[in-house]
Structure 1
Amino acid sequence: MDESTTFLYFFDNLTQGKTSMSVASSRPRAARETIPEFSLYGELTGTDSADFVHIEWIETRSRLYDWHIDTHRHLGLFQVLAIFEGTVEANVDDATWEVEGPAVITVHPSAVHNFRFSRGAHGFVLTMAQSVPFDAALGVDADMESLLSKPWLFALGDAPQTRDRLYTLLGLIMDEFSRPQLGHAEMVGWLTRSVLLLLARLHAHHDSASRAGRTELDLFARFRALVETHYTEAWSIPAYAERLHVTESKLNRLCRRIAGKSAFDLVQDRLMLEARRKLIYIPAPVSHVAYELGFQDPAYFCRVFKRHVGVTPSAFRRTAQHTHLGDDA
């Protein structure tokens, strides 16, 4: 393959008015013996080049099929669907998403997938041979391997800089397809590498955020477990924080972020839940309930209970017994 064909480009036959391609029917059949396999959806021509790259507008092909790209797969191809306007219902293997642009969906090689776009949806579909991400020598093979192993969804609504960069890069690739100029193979090669690097960054950020999220959820779960064990022992919040090896302020930030309440409020919630249970189901004096919950002064327990529940313990018990309420939250 000479330098001018380092990348094998296919102009969109649909936009160029060519008739040489074979087009499969878009009508769904009652039953299929096999899953349709295409190079590009509806085209039966092959793409056996290891350097294959193709780009087209989402709307170019989907409009021809009433905005519904039926179930199919691409052997040996990696696909990037970048939607910037409109919505798409996407099924990629076991993943099902309803997505509003801007967002990116990746389709790994051989994945069975279908898309249903809203009318007027706008964006790009970038398709390449599965070897291209690794041949690009980007130094991010681990991220590429992960991207090519399963479907990924990256929402870009909160990442305007990445959204704009991606739109610009894909638009430049589209321009090279439409008006090839001197060095266009090299230009598209570098632009494609830039898109892949953006995807690698999105993946790395997503992976890092997921790990951080799991770490925070694990820490919160450990806090709740400690509360469940010690809520009647009048532990202070600094004591909980010390046991968890975090600062009191970090523990409070974590609780507010996940539960919308401070650590102290969560401990009080658990304490008052148990108070309500005991008042309803145990026919013991209020003072006895207070002592069981770790209060040394029943009067103080009554004040805390009223502040939290809105009525005194005795009034709560009478109302619950009268109406046969069993608030076991």
Structure 2
Amino acid sequence: MKKNLLHYKGLYGDNNQRDFGDFVHHELLATRSKVYNWEINVHLHTDLFQIFIISSGEGVLIQDNIRIHLMTPCILLIPTNTFHGFEFQSDVSGEVFTISEQFIESIFKNTPLILLELNKVKQYSFNLENHDLNDFIYLKNKIIKTISESNPYKQISLQSLFQLFFIGLYNSYSTFEDQKESSNNRTLGYFHAFQKLIKKTLPESKLIKEYAGELRITPVHLNRICQTLVQKTALQVVHEYCITEAKKHLLYSSYSISEISYLLHFKDPAYFSRLFKKQTGLSPIIFRSNNSQKES
């Protein structure tokens, strides 16, 4: 087990620091996967969102130490900073789009409901008679053609095409509860901004009133937003993120429990362990041990 988490600031195997801006990249699935013998180690991409459009063949997504079989044909969405790995069979056929978080944010800045939906790993499976699949294939081909073009309206065209692509997925497979549908954009925008603030800081080092202050709302208002959208307090949302980050280190690094607690800015490792057990039902040591056994 490696000491550090495996993360890339670029594509898989590329760790060159760069300013991605409105970065949009396309390649065949086999281009990179074949080089690595069809096995992609568990990793994350900093500030990059990925769309896998897999038309046929077999593969397994590995996330949180769980193996998820890909039901092809399918579209798989991997949010930014999300650990994932793959084991593909050599018969797999598909394509990968990698786009910057900044690009996603820019095209849906007025539609925070979709931004919330894009925060989760999702697999959308189709049967071959599904007419929606043809729509997505059409949009995919238009995007590929547009990427290769050189004209002053290229970026605007890509924004429009990706909007149609994601809205099509959302309309076909939306699982949002009625209360989220009825929430206004302002409320959803505050919650999305809160999530971004949590990710940008070491959460345990900041108070809820400080988050609220940065959002220019009261702590009571922030709690009400969280209760409405996810039935949790603002503090519970922060703790949920902390536990998710802790799981990454427990699963994919060899840091000790104390080191992980300090990395997440918990002042007391014992408190970190108690919170982890309260949230998961397992102590950090047992969680790591159980998942190590799954790997062996």
Structure-1-length-normalised TM-score? 0.49
Show the counterpart of 1:152.
Answer: 122
Tell me the matched-pair count: 178
Question: Residues 14-67 of structure 1: CA distance to partner in whole angstroms, max 9, x if unpaired?
Answer: xxxxxxxxxxxxxxxxx3111221211111223433322212111111111111
Partner AA of 2:58 in structure 1:
T
8 Å contact kept, 1:72–1:112: yes
Q: Percent identity?
A: 21
Residue 26 of structure 2 corresponds to residue 44 of structure 1? no
Residue 66 of structure 2 corresponds to residue 115 of structure 1? no
Cα distance 1:98–1:137, how it changes in 2: closer, same or farther (>3 A)? Answer: closer
Q: Report the Cα offset of residue 181 of structure 1.
A: 4.5
Unaligned runs of 5+ residues in structure 2 are 179-296
Q: Supply the distance in 1 between the matched residues of 2:148 and 2:100 (Cα, whole angstroms).
A: 20
Q: Supply the distance in 1 between the matched residues of 2:68 and 2:167 (Cα, whole angstroms).
A: 24
Residue 44 of structure 2 corresponds to residue 73 of structure 1? yes
Partner AA of 2:21 in structure 1:
A
Q: Supply the distance in 1 between the matched residues of 2:111 and 2:128 (Cα, whole angstroms).
A: 24
Q: Cα RMSD between the aligned structures?
A: 2.6
Show the counterpart of 1:187.
Answer: 157
8 Å contact kept, 2:73–2:128: no
Question: Residues 52-98 of structure 1: CA distance to partner in whole angstroms, max 9, x if unpaired?
Answer: 22121111111111111111101112111111111210013365310
Question: Residues 289-326 of structure 1: CA distance to partner in whole angstroms, max 9, x if unpaired?
Answer: xxxxxxxxxxxxxxxxxxxxxxxxxxxxxxxxxxxxxx
Show the counterpart of 1:101.
Answer: 72
Show the counterpart of 1:141.
Answer: 112
Structure-2-length-normalised TM-score? 0.54
Bigger Cα Rg: 1
Partner AA of 2:98 in structure 1:
T
8 Å contact kept, 2:108–2:115: no
Q: Supply the distance in 1 between the matched residues of 2:85 and 2:99 (Cα, whole angstroms).
A: 18
Q: Supply the distance in 2 between the matched residues of 1:195 and 1:138 (Cα, whole angstroms).
A: 16
Cα distance 1:57–1:208, how it changes in 2: closer, same or farther (>3 A)? Answer: farther
Partner AA of 1:111 in structure 2:
T
Residue 140 of structure 2 corresponds to residue 170 of structure 1? yes
Q: Supply the distance in 2 between the matched residues of 1:131 and 1:203 (Cα, whole angstroms).
A: 24
Three-state SS of the structure 2 residue aligned to 1:40 is: coil
Unaligned runs of 5+ residues in structure 1 are 1-30, 210-329
Three-state SS of the structure 2 residue aligned to 1:54 is: strand
8 Å contact kept, 1:106–1:147: yes
Q: Supply the distance in 1 between the matched residues of 2:124 and 2:176 (Cα, whole angstroms).
A: 11
Segment drifting more, 74-83 vs 191-200: 191-200
Q: Report the Cα offset of residue 138 of structure 1.
A: 7.2
